[in-house]
A = this chain, B = another copy of it.
Amino acid sequence: MRVAVARETRPGETRVALVPELVPRLTGLGYAVAVEPDAGRGALHADEDYLEAGAEVVEAAWQDADLVVSVNPLDPAVVRRLRPGTATVSFLPAAASLDLVADLRDCGVTSFAMELVPRISRAQSMDALSSQSLVSGYRCAIVAAGLLRRFLPLNMTAAGTVPPAAVVVLGAGVAGLQAIATCKRLGAVVKAYDVRAAAAEEIRSVGAQAIDLELETLEGSGGYAREMSEDRAERQRRLLAPYVAAADALITTAAVPGRQAPLLVTADMVEHMAPGSVVVDLAAESGGNVEGSVPGKVVRIGAAQVWGGANVPGQMPGPASRLYAQNVVNLVTLMTRQASEDGGAAAFAPDFEDEIVTGSCVTHDGTVWHEPTRLALEGEAPR
């Protein structure tokens, strides 16, 4: 059984789906591991590191692999050359990649999407959305601290006192909570808001003040928020405006995978911020929580600098890759039948009775397994 580690081809991608440190986890299961040359380069893992860890380094390693692991979906050209029955594990935004899903189906590829791994406790160690959000949240706080030309902590000196910075965090999922915790570590005064009822306690648990707008909460499935009406969104923006105006730094992290990010903050709200203020919009790539933010750029809105995130986990490729690889290895381990004492070989054999397997599967055996995607492909509206 061979696992191939793809060299990522998306522009700007620095991560890799397997780090050398975790190669032994797979070889220990009975896999041969083949890594494409330079696959780990962006994450500062040299080919030699993989060789030392027990992997081979092979160009087009996917050609004779049973399983191909990657961060981003494979290129369509690669998919079309996979042997039928090959499995893939990667992020795979199915609803937004219908052509690729059709290719995977037609080529008989069994594909698993990391973002579809169910949010149940048994699958926590495979939750790549959470692990990458952890990295993003930390990074957002560090970026805000770097852009902000003042202290985050209170400073008491012989000459006098400099007050701490006021940080507002919108969205208190994994990324938001990590951003809050990091800003708190640095000594900032942090207030945070999330539309979910459960969030207030989590916000307080990491040391921030939970903003209460006295609006109805919007608990969705899987711990994510559900979408809100435009009327509620408008009231929410109006109520948030004074908090935004009073912030030295605003960090927005409200994103739901596969959906357009909600517009939480208008350009007008940013224009009411004081000179030198900083906005960090983690959701810039999926439409932006902040009107006018641009992915990968710092733009000026009013007197504030507005930073738009672009592949934010990829800005810390070492830890992001390591955590992602741990998620992937844990998922692959679940899908592997161990070698048996009576000589049965180990095999990649996902159990299609297991809700983690069925939940994360996009295509299998010539069919689209993920029902919303199948319906979308058949021209019906997704559920």
Contact = CB atoms under 8 A, between A and B. Distances in A.
Contacts of A160: 125, 322-323, 326
B157 A318 contact: no
A285 B93 CA distance: 49
A150 B139 CA distance: 9
Contact of A162 (B44, B186, B322): B322
Contact of A130 (B131, B158, B315, B327): B158
Given A44-B275, A182-B186, A159 B323 contact: yes
Nearest to A155: B134
Interface in A299-344: 315-319, 322-323, 326-327, 330
Contacts of A318: 149-150, 276
A149 B185 contact: no
Contacts of A134: 155, 157
A44 B135 CA distance: 32
Contact of A44 (B125, B276, B317): B276
A233 interface: no
Interface in A38-54: 44
A124 interface: yes
A131 B156 CA distance: 10
Interface stretch (A29-37, A140-148, A216-224): A140-148
Nearest to A174: B157
Contact of A151 (B126, B151, B153, B319): B319
A187 interface: yes
A127 B158 contact: yes
A175 to B, nearest CB: 13
A149 B323 contact: no
A138 interface: yes
A373 to B, nearest CB: 26
Nearest to A143: B146
A127 B157 CA distance: 10
Interface in A143-199: 143, 145-146, 149-151, 153, 155, 157-160, 162, 182, 185-187
Contacts of A131: 157-159
Interface residues of A, number: 40
B276 A153 contact: no
A254 to B, nearest CB: 21
A159 B325 CA distance: 9
Contacts of A126: 159
A130 to B, nearest CB: 7
A330 B125 contact: no
- From A124, A125, A323, name the one whose CB has the most chain B CB atoms within 10 angstroms: A323
A183 to B, nearest CB: 11
A159 B276 contact: no
A150 B182 contact: no
Nearest to A124: B158
Contacts of A138: 151, 153, 155
A147 B293 CA distance: 23
Contacts of A142: 142, 145-146
A150 B316 contact: yes
7 nearest A-B pairs in the assembled complex, by CB-CB distance: A124-B158, A159-B326, A146-B146, A44-B275, A160-B326, A125-B158, A44-B276
30 contacts: A124-B159, A125-B160, A126-B159, A127-B158, A130-B157, A131-B157, A131-B158, A131-B159, A134-B155, A135-B151, A138-B151, A138-B155, A142-B146, A143-B146, A145-B145, A145-B146, A149-B316, A149-B318, A151-B316, A155-B319, A157-B323, A159-B323, A159-B327, A159-B330, A160-B322, A160-B326, A162-B322, A185-B185, A185-B187, A186-B186
